[in-house]
Amino acid sequence: MKPISLFALSVFVSVYAASAHAAPTTVYANSISAHNIAAMQHTIMNNTIRSFSGTMAAALGSRGELQYERKSPAPQKISIDQYGRMPEYGTMPLYGEYGDDGSVFGRGGGDMGSRPTINGMWLNWQHVDDDAKFDHMNTLDSDYNVIMFGLSGGDAQFGNGITDWGMFGGYAGGTQTNDTLDITENGGYVGVYNGYAWGGLNISLIANAGAMYNSAEFDTGTDEYANMWVGGAINAAYNIALDATFTLQPNVYAGYTWIKSANYTSTDGAHIANQNFNMFEVAPGVRAIKQISRGWFGFIGAKYVFNFAHGGDTVVDNIKLDELEMNDYSEYGLGIETSVDRFNMSINVGRRDGGRTGWTFGTSLKYLF
């Protein structure tokens, strides 16, 4: 009897331990939401960089130094009907954009002695529909939207380069679903931006904070919980002008997001405790920008996203579960842009493969004062 009893006990312990680690998807709801916030942060931060860094036309020129003392000289001959459009050989003569000589055009293309505190505003929308692949879990269909509004501040001379600033905010929300779980997320965020340009070098710094309210539905009920986050990012890019209409832009992005996790009692009675997350991301990439025709520009780009997560342990009824881990992924896409008077419009489409696999789409509208 004793050998049989010992064998039965060992089987029981093995099954219990396995069940503790092979937990149902539902107890990972907070972890799934945290990883999706990190994915939204990737979209928010990179979209902010593109929006504040100027138009594609600006990337074809030199962002050298402001010329405040250009006293109505003989302005360069640019016909008025080209205002807001790209001359065949140069850069876009828009307010706040940069001319071939590194100067910034004012309303009339000349005197920069008077500059507004706010020189532009923009509104854009990005949609992402991809599959999120985690270890120890079935793939989730991730579908989210990011809507952003921003105000661009005036430029100022700083050393040998130009510094500018901006502020932004908006909505972020979406769904995460598989065969056992349906998470709905709705939230918002605010942030600030500072950029510095010296010759072909462009450096962007961003900080933001936000909150997300979540509802996780499953067979036995619905759990509700909230997450808050604070994040920062830096991006460095260098413009390599191959000719007057074509620029290569190697770049590297690094971001960090701290996410406050939620502790709650599930509708099935389980007490779920979640540690806070520290999400890191590094993404080297390259972008090519080309003037297609008068007033029309296009880009194609690619980057590889390395994900690093620390913390975020999930403990259910005092049993620690395996962490959710997401693999790295590649991201590539293209876009087109044009300007009409003071309005600048663009659309972009992209693809992801790897830890996140799917499609992205977005559009943007800017107005320069």
For residues 118 and 63, give the distance between their C-alpha atoms in angstroms, rounded to a whole number. 19
For residue 190, tell me if it sits in a domain: yes
What is the chain's alpha carbon radius of gyration, rounded to the nearest angstrom? Answer: 25
215 part of a folded domain: yes
Q: Which residue has the higher pLDDT, 152 or 77?
A: 152
The DSSP code for 10 is H
Closest CA to 166 of 113, 107, 96: 96
Q: What pLDDT was estimated at residue 11? A: 36
| Beta-bridge partner residues of 263 | none
Three-class HEC string of 67-109: CCCCCCCCCCCCCHHHCCCCCCCCCCCCCCCECCCCCECCCCC
169 — pLDDT class (breaks 50, 70, 90) = very high
Pair 166, 197: CB distance under 8 Å: no
Using the structure block, give the residue that is written with the tokens 């600048």: 344
Q: Is residue 223 part of a domain?
A: yes
If we measure between CA atoms, which residue out of 331, 325, 324, 333 comes closest to residue 357?
331
298 has a pLDDT exceeding 90: yes
The continuous run of DSSP H or E covering 4 comes out as helix 2-21
Q: What b/e string do you get for 293-302 counting C-beta neighbours within 10 Å, with b at 16 or more?
A: eebbbbbebb
- Stretch 138-163: mean pLDDT, rounded? 90
Q: Tell me whether residue 218 is in a domain.
A: yes
Cβ neighbour number for residue 366 with a 10 Å cutoff? 23
Looking at residue 115, its pLDDT comes to 60
Q: What are the residues whose beta carbons fall under 8 Å from the beta carbon of 310, sequence distance 6 or more?
A: 277, 278, 280
Residue 26 in tokens: 């539902």
For range 265-290, the mean pLDDT: 93
Predicted pLDDT at 2: 44
Output the CA torsion sign for 47, 50, 56, 57: positive
User: Mean pLDDT, to the nearest integer, of 80-98?
Assistant: 39
- Flag whether 78 is in a domain: no
Is residue 81 assigned to a domain?
Answer: no
pLDDT band at 13 (very low <50, low <70, confident <90, very high): very low
| CATH number (domain holding residue 205) | 2.40.128.130
Q: How many domains does the chain have?
A: 1
For 40, phi and psi rounded to 5 degrees?
-65, -40
Mean pLDDT is lowest, of 76-80, 196-200, 353-357, for 76-80
Domain ranges, residue 243? 28-66+116-368
Residue 165 lies in a domain: yes
Bridge partners of 347?
336, 363
Query: pTM to 2 decimals?
Result: 0.80
Residue 22 included in any domain: no
